[in-house]
Amino acid sequence: MKNNNRAPLPGHLAGLEPLSRRGFLRASVLAGAALTSGCASLFGRKDAPETLQYYSLKPDEVDVITRLTEIMLPTERYGLPSSTTVVPTVKNIDIMAQRFPEQTRELLGLGIWVFNNRPMMSFKFKKFTSLSDAKALEYVNAMQEGAFFERGLMTTLKALIALNYWRDERTWPGLEYHGPVTETWGVRRLGNAPLPRA
């Protein structure tokens, strides 16, 4: 049983998801060694998605989201870090979903189910996960142009995936985005503002 109530990692550890606390514990039993952050390579970011642990997304949800990530973000073809094997996009979504209010989490589950199982004649009523790459992309585009609730669902799923990929700073050089600058520029902290004069 997966624990759907597990709290997420604190935000400052984002990007180190495979090194989650639970991962640490499990690995320490396996490796019989005290773990430090130096162990990243042991089960680090290059892990295949199937070796990652998911605490909020169910296995079939992971399959749908992983497939949609591949279709939406064919990154390697464009010299960007892989959206599945380098940036843990789906794992990031899993962590995010743990913090969702219950209602939102339920809606997400329903949305993923509908997205995968929605029968569409032009796709021979196949599930999204069993469509070829070209057909899957066609399906996504058709949903985006579809009825109002199809557009809504598609935009939401896309936003979730895109956010959890592009938030990884390893993707930024590909956009010529500088990222944090305060430290690089040596900007001095001003501290608290002085009390106003009476």
Partner 1 sequence: MAFVRVPRDGVPVTQAKDVALDPSLGKRFTLKTDVVVVGSGAAGSMVAYEMAKAGRDVLVLESGRYYPSSEFTEHLGDTMTKIYQDQVGQVNTTADIIFVQGACVGGSTVVGACVMEEPGDKVLDGWAEKYGLDALSAEKFRPYLDKVAEELQIHTNEAHEINACAHKVIQGCEKMQFSWKPAQRNVKQCALTGHCLAGCPSDRKMSSLVTHLPWASAYGARIFSDTEVIRVKTLDGRARGVEARIVDPDSGAHVADMNVDADMVVLAAGGIHTPLILQRSQVPDRSGQLGRNLAIQPFTQVLGKFKEPLYGFRGALVGVQVDEFTHTDGYTIFSGLAEPESLLAQGDMKAGQAHIEFMKDYKYYAGVNAFSKDLGNGYVKWDGDAYSGSKTIHYNPSREEFENMKASAALAARIFFSGGAEKVYLPTFQSLQANSVFELDEKMDKVDYGIKGMYTFRSNSFSPHGTCRMGADPYESVVSPTGEMHDTPGLFVADASLLPESMSAPIQWTVHALAKYVSDQINNNASNYFIS
Q: How far is the CB of 69 from partner 1 (least distance, A)?
A: 10
The verdict on 100 binding partner 1 (CB under 8 A) reads: yes
The verdict on 189 binding partner 1 (CB under 8 A) reads: yes
Report which of 26, 159, 45 is spatially closest to residue 91, judged by C-alpha positions. Answer: 45
Q: How far is the CB of 158 from partner 1 (least distance, A)?
A: 6
The verdict on 170 binding partner 1 (CB under 8 A) reads: no
Q: Which of 19, 62, 64, 80 binds partner 1 (CB under 8 A)?
A: 80
Q: How far is the CB of 63 from partner 1 (least distance, A)?
A: 18
Region at 32 (left for phi over 0; alpha for psi -120 to 50; beta for the rest): left
Q: Binding to partner 1 (CB under 8 A): which residues in 24-63? A: none
C-alpha distances in angstroms, 64 versus 71, 112, 114, 148?
11, 7, 11, 21
Alpha helices in 118-179 (DSSP H): 133-144, 148-166
Q: Which of 74, 109, 127, 135 binds partner 1 (CB under 8 A)?
A: 74
End-to-end CA distance of the chain: 61
Q: Binding to partner 1 (CB under 8 A): which residues in 125-154? A: 137, 140-141, 144-145, 148-149, 151-152
d(CA 157, CA 150): 11
d(CA 56, CA 91): 9
Footprint of partner 1 (CB under 8 A): 5-12, 14, 71-75, 77-78, 80, 95-96, 99-104, 107, 137, 140-141, 144-145, 148-149, 151-152, 155-156, 158-159, 162-164, 166-169, 171-172, 174-182, 185, 187-196
